[in-house]
Structure 1
Amino acid sequence: MAELGLNEHHQNAVINYMRFARSKRSLRLKTVDSCFQDLKDSRLTEDTFTVDEVTEMLDGLKVVVHSEVESELINTAYTNVLLLRQLFCQAEKWYLKLQTDISDLENRELLEQVAEFEKAEFTSSGRKANSEIGKPKLAPLNEGGVSELLSKEITKLQDENDKLKARFKTLETQATSALDEKFKIERVLKDLHKVQGDQKFTLKTQEVADLEETLTALKADFEKTLTVSTENQKSLQDNLISTKHDLLKVQEYLSLAEKELDKKFQETAAYRNMKEMLTKKNEQVKELRKRLSQYEAED
């Protein structure tokens, strides 16, 4: 099967967008076909036509088809802009600057590669692809990449937290040993005080005080490091929740945009022209029935 040089996650995203584009293209082609069919049904009711009548029909059809093609091209451009906006927004959250090469958009070799990929993908998918194409919908913003990175960062912080806890236990063990040594030294100092006098006892007491100060400083430094790690983990979890909320808002916006597109389609010139053609056709049918009834009355 043809490949685009992407990983599995990104290739699936490309397939979803191509499925969305195919559904929109199929819908627009059906609309163009209906324009020609309406012209046949509504205007081609006689055996002969004058040049002016043919010119008028072709001009009317030209306006309708031109409007449909222009609307589709504009919609495709806007859709691509929305897709790029999704990618850029995700990149900016991680302080990345993506680059694009416009010249590659006209690279015939790359375009043929994409065409082969589309052909291989949608012909091999069979009925599954066709059933999914029959229900066009806007592709939501994929949150897997952001969540995965945040999860990795949280896991990394948890590993560091575990290491700090292990270090704390080690320091605690060392502190216990130091206290035991302190008690031993105090007992030794008491014995020495009886033998050597108050001067040497004061010197040993100062050494014990220095040892206690060092132990207190080590505990304070460890507690400070543990607090900073906990705060960073909480901040990352809050960012993950906020990101998911933003993604839900974007999905809701895309759903509203799809409904708005359907509503705008009914307000387009093509839709009104088709409606006018159907009205004219109905009037012509009524006129023909009226004439026919007159002939039957005379007979």
Structure 2
Amino acid sequence: MRFARSKRVLRLKTIDSCFEELKDSRLVDETFTVDEVREMLDGLQVVVRGEVETELINTAHTNVLLLRQLFNQAEKFYLRLQTDISELENRDLLEQVAEFEKTDFKTPNKSNQESNKPKLAPLNEGGVSELLNKEIARLQEENDKLKTRLRTLETQAMSALDEKTRAERALKDIQKVQGEQQRWACAQEINCLEDTVAALKEDYEKSLSANAASQKDLQENLVSAKHDLLRIQEQLNLAEKELDKKFQQTAAYRNMKEMLTKKNDQIKDLRKKLQRYEPDE
């Protein structure tokens, strides 16, 4: 306001000088014609109009430069300023500004009053550093949260892998036990059949040495025993396949298979999440 007041006073002095110059240069005669008066007034109008127009243009441009400085400083603080043009024509506010200017320039102890007035904090680089530090702190906090979440996901992934490994081992153990049981049963059956064949052979030899007439019957019994042996072996193979099939249809096998499938799906989801947060790794 002090700067605007000084510019306004200077421009008013210029306008006063225009009138004084007109008085000194043209008002030398006692009488003037209407045309002479009109000519003097037209010339004075042109000069005063030019001075006033220059002052208005300069004031507008000065306000633009002042606002530009304020906006540039506001950008450093990431502020968004808004203006209300209607407030520029508020008569109450304009009268308050006029009253402030009147009392401010007419008070004798202006220096003491100015020292007592509250001062705004200067716009300097410290504010920008403070904002940057806050932004850095916020980003660090967010990064710590992401790291914590990543560690949680890694723990879940490792736990899922351990569960999958234990499930695979349990399945292998079950299959191993089932296989051993099947082999043991087959071995028992074969041993029984071998004992039966040996006994038949022994009986055949005894019958052959004791009675040659019964040789044909013993041979037939031996052939029948061999056929029975082959049939029993075939039945054992079918029983082994059927036992394998029944084992695959048991609830324990299905539950184990479903559990492995779920664990594999969980591991795939966790790997996708890990890939999303740590694509480079």
Question: TM tier, shorter chain?
Answer: 0.3 to 0.5
| Larger Cα-atom Rg | 2
- TM-score, scaled relative to structure 2: 0.40
- TM-score, scaled relative to structure 1: 0.38
Flag the structure with more relative contact order, 1 or 2, with Cα contacts below 8 A and sequence separation at least 6. Answer: 1
